[in-house]
């Protein structure tokens, strides 16, 4: 759950929907503040699509409560649905209609006028590089082009809340970056987005990230806080000028109260990993400790924050969860924090 001064576009409390042994989603509690992007990240089959379908009212929870835009999704009225856009995983538009006809049909369902449709359609087709394919039939599109057309359809009516289930699957890296740039523009306009992905590196584009595994939410936080959680802080990578000073440097750093951990870098005789709460704040102090002429007087050749990928962070969070006793609750694994 997440703290915010905003109202919450989505509020789920202890939501479960069980399809069979180890299949479904279990005890999900999360909040998505208005005007933010929540990235739901996890492997195929972990429950991301089920989570989205529960929020859309396509499934009903067996336990717990969920409210979206202030209403129970199972009892959405037309005015609620008009504020929501949805991109499912599979291509669900009409294969025998053209790109433009598909988008125009969806827009007409929301009562958009012809001049509004034309203006909005031109803008969106240009954005997703489908302007040249506007007359091509849906069944003639590649998988990536179909994903782009579904994005157009979901955005035609300018929804306040967008659910996108793996919208960048099959999209080349350049266009994927443009998708996320557009998603963040929508966020900056005050819209709310819940986006699922198996591409762990896309966490960097989100305001909050939820890590899923086997139907459970293991951790929900900002990308930076997830990094700190996975590492126990932030890591400074030090390289000493003289290997003979390695043991003396370790001793000096372990005595410094703001250093949480010191580890020798494998296969190196002069490199250290130093864990602190905030590398930006404490890197100068760590250097002062080592290079103090009245103290260790150790020359440091280089010092920088260790840059881990989100793949590394994801793997570490999964391993931490797998190491917990089976009777631990999700909140205990998350750390018991109440983010909202």
| pLDDT tens readout for residues 96-149 | 999 999 999 999 888 888 888 988 999 999 988 899 999 999 999 988 888 889
**pLDDT value, residue 6:** 57
Instruction: Say whether pLDDT at 5 is over 70.
Output: no
Is 231-305 in the same CATH topology as 8-228? no
User: Residues near 37 by Cβ (< 8 Å), separated by ≥ 6?
Assistant: 183, 184, 187, 192, 193, 194, 195, 205, 206, 207, 208
- Select the highest-mean-pLDDT range: 188-197, 286-295, 327-336: 188-197
Instruction: Say whether pLDDT at 28 is over 70.
Output: yes
User: pLDDT digits over 167-183, tens only?
Assistant: 988 788 888 888 899 89
User: pLDDT digits over 185-202, tens only?
Assistant: 999 999 999 999 988 889
**pLDDT value, residue 310:** 80
**pLDDT value, residue 338:** 38
What is the three-class DSSP state of 11?
Answer: strand
Q: Collect contacts of 264-271 with beta carbons under 8 A, ≥24 apart.
A: 265/237, 269/243, 270/239, 270/240, 270/241, 270/242, 270/243, 270/245, 270/246, 270/301, 271/237, 271/238, 271/239, 271/240
Q: Is the model's pTM score more than 0.85?
A: no
Domain 8-228 in CATH 3.40.50.720? no
User: Residues near 6 by Cβ (< 8 Å), separated by ≥ 6?
Assistant: 33, 34, 35, 36
Task: Calculate helix-pair angle for 173-188, 143-155, nearest 10 degrees.
Answer: 10
Q: Determine the Cα–Cα distance for residues 17 and 63; give it in Å rounded to an integer.
A: 7
> Domain ranges in the chain?
8-228, 231-305
Q: From the centroid of its chain, how far is CA 318? A: 15
Report the pLDDT averaged over residues 38-62: 93
**What burial letters (b/e) apply to 246-284, b meaning 16+ CB within 10 Å?**
bebbeebbeebeebeebeeeeeeebbbbbbbeebeebbe
Handedness of CA 66, 18, 208, 143 (dihedral sign): negative
CA-derived radius of gyration, the chain: 24
Q: Looking at 10-137, list the stretches that DSSP marks H as alpha helix, in order from N- to C-terminal side.
A: 48-56, 78-81, 99-109, 114-127
Length in residues, the chain: 340
Q: What is the mean pLDDT of the chain?
A: 87
Domain 231-305: which CATH number of 3.40.50.2300, 3.50.50.60, 3.30.70.920, 1.10.760.10: 3.30.70.920
């Amino acid at each position: 759950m997440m703290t915010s001064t905003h109202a919450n576009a989505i509020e789920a409390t202890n939501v479960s929907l069980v399809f069979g042994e180890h299949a479904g989603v279990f005890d999900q509690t999360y909040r998505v503040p208005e005007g933010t992007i929540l990235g739901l990240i996890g492997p195929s089959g972990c429950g991301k699509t089920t989570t989205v379908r529960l929020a859309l009212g396509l499934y009903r929870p067996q336990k717990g409560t969920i409210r979206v835009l202030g209403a129970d999704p199972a009892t959405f009225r037309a005015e609620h649905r008009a504020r929501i856009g949805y991109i499912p995983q599979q291509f669900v538009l009409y294969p025998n209609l053209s790109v433009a006809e598909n988008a125009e049909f969806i827009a007409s369902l929301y009562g958009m006028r012809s001049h509004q449709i034309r203006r909005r359609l031109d803008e969106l087709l240009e954005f997703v590089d489908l302007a040249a394919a506007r007359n091509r039939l849906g069944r003639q599109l590649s998988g990536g082009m179909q994903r782009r057309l579904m994005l157009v359809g979901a955005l035609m009516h300018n929804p306040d809340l967008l659910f996108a289930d793996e919208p960048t699957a099959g999209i080349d890296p350049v266009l994927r970056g443009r998708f996320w740039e557009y998603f963040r523009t929508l966020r900056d306009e005050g819209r709310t987005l819940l986006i699922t992905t198996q591409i762990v590196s896309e966490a960097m584009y989100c305001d909050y990230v939820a890590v899923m595994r086997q139907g459970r939410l293991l951790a929900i936080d900002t990308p930076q806080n997830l990094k700190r959680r996975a590492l126990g802080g932030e890591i400074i990578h030090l390289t000493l000028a003289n290997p003979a000073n390695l043991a003396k440097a370790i001793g000096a750093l372990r005595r410094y109260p703001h250093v949480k951990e010191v580890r020798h870098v494998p296969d190196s005789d002069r490199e250290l990993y130093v864990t602190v709460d905030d590398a930006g704040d404490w890197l100068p102090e760590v250097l002062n400790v080592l290079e103090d002429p009245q103290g260790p007087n150790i020359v440091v050749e280089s010092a920088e924050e260790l840059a881990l990928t989100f793949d590394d962070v994801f793997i570490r969070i999964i391993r931490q969860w797998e190491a917990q006793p089976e009777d631990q609750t999700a909140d205990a694994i998350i750390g018991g924090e109440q983010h909202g």
